[in-house]
Amino acid sequence: MNTIYDICVVGSGAGAGPIIYELAKAGKKIIVLEKGEHYKREDFSKDEIAYTKRSIVTPNLNDEYHTIIENNDEYTTTQANWDFWNGSIVGGSSNFMSGFFHRLHPNDFQLKTKFGTIKGANIEDWPINYEELEPYYDKVEKIVGVSGYTTPHKYESPRSSKNFPYPATTEHPIVHLIDKSAQKIGFTSVVTPRAILSQDIQNRDKCYYSNYCGSYGCSSGAKGSAREALINPALKTKNVTLITNAFVIKLKEQNKKIVSALYIDKNKNIKKEIFAKTFIVAGQAIETSRLLLNSSTNNFPNGLSNNSGQVGKNLLFSGGGVVNGTFDENSKISLKDLMTEGYFVNRVIKDFYFFDKQKGGILELLFEHANPIRKANKEKWDQDGNLVWGEELYKKLFYTFNKQKKLSIEIFNDWLPNDNCNVSIDKYRVDKYGINVAKIAIGSHPQNEIIGDKLAKKAVKLLETMGAKNINGNISPYPPQNLQAGGCRFGNDSKTSVLNKYCQSHEINNLFVTDGSFMPTGGSVPYTFTIYANSFRVADYLKKIL
């Protein structure tokens, strides 16, 4: 006889973690199907080759890939060596985030009402407001663990707790130059809150400032990944069954109810079936849409919960780009202070979140990732593109690693939802398991770059005031693969949205989607904090109805 679980959760990242954590504590029997492995702290190293050169935590593109549509051209991510996988392990991409945890602003929930429509953009207000989500932002800060310091600012969102539960992480000396320079040109520098512990707590150690954070798993437990903060504690309740290497390929539906999840056991390459009363899909935006679209039935011939035709529509990434500048022994900061390793820059400029009567974004300051192989590889060419070696190469490498640092300003602004950015199914291409791959149209709305360019000018002005050299930037229409949302937006109208305000399918009431897919618009900040908060909100709803 088949075991019937209370809840089956597909995926184990930021959208899944709060559901698993809260419902396990409530006594529900949960099964989690995760495509990848369950890594432990001691499994995470600072191995650049493993984690950024040859990722050991995402599928090989020769085995699993996506199809890209760009300007009417079609190619595979294998052909382009372009990877949209973001961590196929327990905890998902939350293991590898830098941990910038900014809340959405109240106006982000009402962009259409506050700023009106934009031609070619499918902007809609959220079916909830900031006040409904705020208690869950607060909950994430306490349970997942966010370190920070509140700074009064006109665009800081209201808080129910006066301050963050943990002090801000230790700051690099360059923050003094940032603060002084920002003040000189009328900017306000704000302390960046991070989902990284600055103090030890039960079963988790504080950050030890290794200098390898973004793109790397945390070996101390300080980073607030879904694995560390939520799933591992949930497993201790004995109410959670975790199956790894389980690639869910189809959800089976009968009488407008999901009855089971069919998955491929990647270790044995055989298909297995899991039965449950309620199903939560949280596989990250692209793969969530792919699963629903690949799960067509008689009742849903175009994919589950897709009689509206909205599944896969209005995919979101993040607008913006990066502006860089270098500092060396001749800069306005001593070389000793400049070359301090490991500590966080911890500064963000929010002055232009709204400006010129339109939606803007933020400027997040950070040093380039440590990755020495990548840094060294850039130095093998001279300015004319000629290969250098010997003493000339040695001098370049010595200077790069001992006399200079590159400060980056990452720009985050809204990626406007539009008809040219979506997920569908490639009917002619399959992965190594024989499953049709996702086809991703990556059309960027022109407004994304217009705002990005305006913000880039602000970033350049700050770097110039700081005395940076070699200032350069890149505002691009190409999406950052690690920031995905949309595709199953929530709303009050079942004709124009996939989910209701509780992220429950309009058409299948035992199906929920809790990764970033639910978002109608993304705001001008990284998505993980909001995905966590919303998942805690949905967990409260599930506790009431199950």
Per-residue three-class SS string for 414-451: CCCCCCCEEEEEEEEEECCCCCEEEEEEECCCHHHHHH
Q: What is the pLDDT of residue 71?
A: 86
Q: Is the distance from CB of 525 to CB of 104 less than 8 angstroms?
A: yes
Q: What is the pLDDT of residue 1?
A: 67
Domain that holds residue 169: 4-545
Q: What is the pLDDT of residue 53?
A: 78
Nearest C-alpha neighbor of 99 from the set 215, 230, 233 = 215
**Tokens 């979140």 belong to which residue?**
353
What six digits make up the tokens of 402? Answer: 């001992």
Q: Is the pTM of this model over 0.95?
A: yes
CB atoms closer than 10 angstroms to residue 161:
14
What is the C-alpha separation between 211 and 218, in angstroms, rounded?
Answer: 11
Q: How far is CA 134 from CA 159, 316, 535, in A?
A: 7, 22, 13
Q: What is the DSSP letter of 263?
A: E
Total number of domains in the chain: 1
Edge-to-edge strand ranges of the sheet holding 469-475: 189-191, 347-349, 361-367, 404-413, 319-328, 469-475
Q: What is the pLDDT of residue 362?
A: 98
Name residue 466's amino acid.
Answer: M
Q: What is the pLDDT of residue 406?
A: 96
Instruction: Identify the three-state secondary structure at position 303.
Output: coil
Domain CATH for 207: 3.50.50.60
**Tokens 């939520």 belong to which residue?**
230
- Angle at the Cα of 302 (from 431 to 498), degrees rounded to 5? 105
What six digits make up the tokens of 1? Answer: 């006889």
Mean pLDDT per 10-residue segment, the chain (546 residues): 93 98 98 96 90 86 94 92 92 95 98 95 98 98 97 95 96 98 98 97 94 92 97 98 98 98 94 98 98 98 97 97 96 96 96 94 94 91 89 93 96 97 97 97 96 97 97 92 95 97 98 98 97 98 97
What is the C-alpha separation between 314 and 384, in angstroms, rounded?
Answer: 43
